[in-house]
Chain A
């Protein structure tokens, strides 16, 4: 078994999105309960969250947006930038805590205390843009982690693999001109799925041309297509790029049970992805990988998929 870090903090539940919102605290509660019940939680290295220093948020987000988000929460606004991005008084602090926690997970892996880590955080991050909240996301956890790895740890080439069923528009935009961060995303085809970006012709621009890759998957397709696209698109791209650290935007909403998408990935299909990504990290990054929770809204399936993912990280499967 590998020493796998697990980031969780009960304060992640304080970002309350109101009745009937799919991005709800129960997602995390059920993930952790399931890990506890199976005994897996006890085998993981616990990482405690602490609030990120604002400096790190500013490596990705505009200061005016950061302040606007803080004020919107403090003034009791119901949402920010779109009414589905619900906020409460504690949302800003929770988002700061989520970022800070992910950075601690990065530290744990870089210091060698953990071989890799999974971050069970809320709110998610991959839709969050430089200057606005989007798709239940406020701060782009993974993008900030990439900048942190470069600035604090001097890691030059970061690979980001985003297997949430939605395209990570925020992450793509943040790094589209950057040739030091490779953003790969596999997601439901943008003609059908939120937010409508992430077509194959998005390949990055300027210096970053060739350092963004998207694999759209049509609704109704599942394991076979994912297997094919990851093998044909992701692997050659990463072989060429040679990342030194792998960050995962891990979304579990491509599962057939999850009606948030029209893709039909099975539990086994997800296992294929988990295995492939761990292998990828071993091959290029000395195993160094931090996986960060994005979406996944089917409350019966999500905890099982997360548990499977962690088993692959910990080499228990």
Chain B
């Protein structure tokens, strides 16, 4: 749940004096798309993405044009400090996945540098790390079964569901809750991911308690506009 667990801890960073060309080569060599830039003390001063570099260069479609080539050479020899995003959005190691998700969405960035309270670069967290983190949070890196359960939206349904699952001695990888999935019928859907193969009995018990098992295709067809 915390950034420190899921961030890339191996520091690959540049400094402001390196050229755009050097930065580009480093990113290619390390196969990364975001390069944090630090000062001599290791403090984060900026970040540059492969996209920043690409969009600064003239299109390589017109490779033959000599003025373009000159322009490219000129840009590539400039210091990276002139191209980077200064004082970028960053997170602390003790921030959460929730923070990272919302920041990535708000600022439309694919990676956030991670700094400590002194501003020293400690790592970076990218979209790929978020995917891995969520796969783990949902428990789906482990074998299990996903139930799709519809329940009335009232207090106590979640408890009933969890009690039934734990009475069966089944461990749970995650439970996702979705409201309004059934289009205004006032029910909500639970998606418990159970770390077991053995789901026949727990399903039977849930059905006996009035829960409905949702079928994906049937659900989708119900969402389509009704022919009148």
Interface of A with B (CB < 8 Å)? 20-22, 83-84, 127, 134-136, 166, 169, 191-197, 218-221, 258-260, 262, 297-298
Contacts and interface: CB of A to CB of B under 8 A. Distances in A.
Interface stretch (B83-91, B98-106, B151-159, B194-202): B194-202
Interface of B: 140, 142-146, 148, 169, 196-201, 203-204, 213, 215-218
A185 to B, nearest CB: 15
A196 B216 contact: no
Given A135-B197, A259-B199, A193 B217 contact: no
B199 A196 contact: no
Contacts of A259: 199-201, 203-204
Given A20-B201, A259-B203, A194 B196 contact: yes
Contacts of B216: 192, 218-220
Contact of A218 (B196, B203, B217): B217
Nearest to A297: B200
* Chain A interface mostly: loop
Contact of A22 (B143, B146, B198, B217): B198
B125 to A, nearest CB: 25
B143 A196 contact: yes
Question: Which 7 pairs of residues, A with B, have the shortest CB-CB distance?
Answer: A220-B215, A195-B143, A259-B200, A194-B197, A135-B197, A194-B145, A260-B200
Given A83-B169, A259-B201, 11 more contacts: A84-B198, A135-B143, A191-B146, A192-B216, A194-B143, A194-B145, A197-B143, A218-B215, A219-B216, A220-B215, A260-B198
Given A193-B145, A195-B144, A259-B204, A21 B198 contact: yes
Contacts of B142: 196
A306 B53 CA distance: 64
